[in-house]
Amino acid sequence: MDAPQLPRFTAQFDPEAIVTMMKLWRDAVDLRIPLRTDMQPHFLERRKHMLYNFESQGRAWRLLLQSFSAEGSDVDGLDQLRRQVDDFWEWADEGLTELEKLALELAESNHDTEILADPLLESHIRKLRRGPPEGERP
């Protein structure tokens, strides 16, 4: 069954909403904004899960923005937003890779490989063990 063909349309888009979310999320996870004392352990304990979700969100925004087009002076704004989303995605991806480095070190020092079975870090384990092909980015 073929999907119905949708007509092209023009929509207004406020990039500040995405930029604000990225900044707040990043600052909260990196503990750069004041958090209630009882919330700090939560952010530290859930860092991996939050980074995983942010990596997925960044990937979704990247995919969505690929389908956007702009005209005139809006082209530069769209390109700038794409770069900011790429930076956000890379921050989350690098954060997960850093956590995996720590997990590998812990597993080696404790001779306990169970920590390496974490599905949220699986792709990062593969990346650390053999590295991604030159120039590859998801």
Q: Secondary structure of 75-135 in the HEC alphabet?
A: HHHHHHHHHHHHHHHHHHHHHHHHHHHHHHHHHHHHCCCHHHHCCCCHHHHHHHHHCCCCC
Q: Between residues 86 and 37, which one has the greater pLDDT?
A: 86
pLDDT one-digit tens code per residue, 43-82: 878 888 999 999 999 999 999 999 999 999 899 999 999 9
User: Using CA atoms, how far apart are residues 98 and 42, in angstroms rounded to an integer?
Assistant: 19
Which residue ranges make up each domain of the chain? 17-22+42-67+74-129
Q: Which of 117, 116, 123, 124 is nearest to 98 (CA)?
A: 124
pLDDT one-digit tens code per residue, 3-46: 888 888 888 889 999 999 999 999 999 989 888 888 888 887 88
Question: Whole-model pTM?
Answer: 0.74
77-80 contacts: CB < 8 A, separation 24 or more?
77/15, 78/15
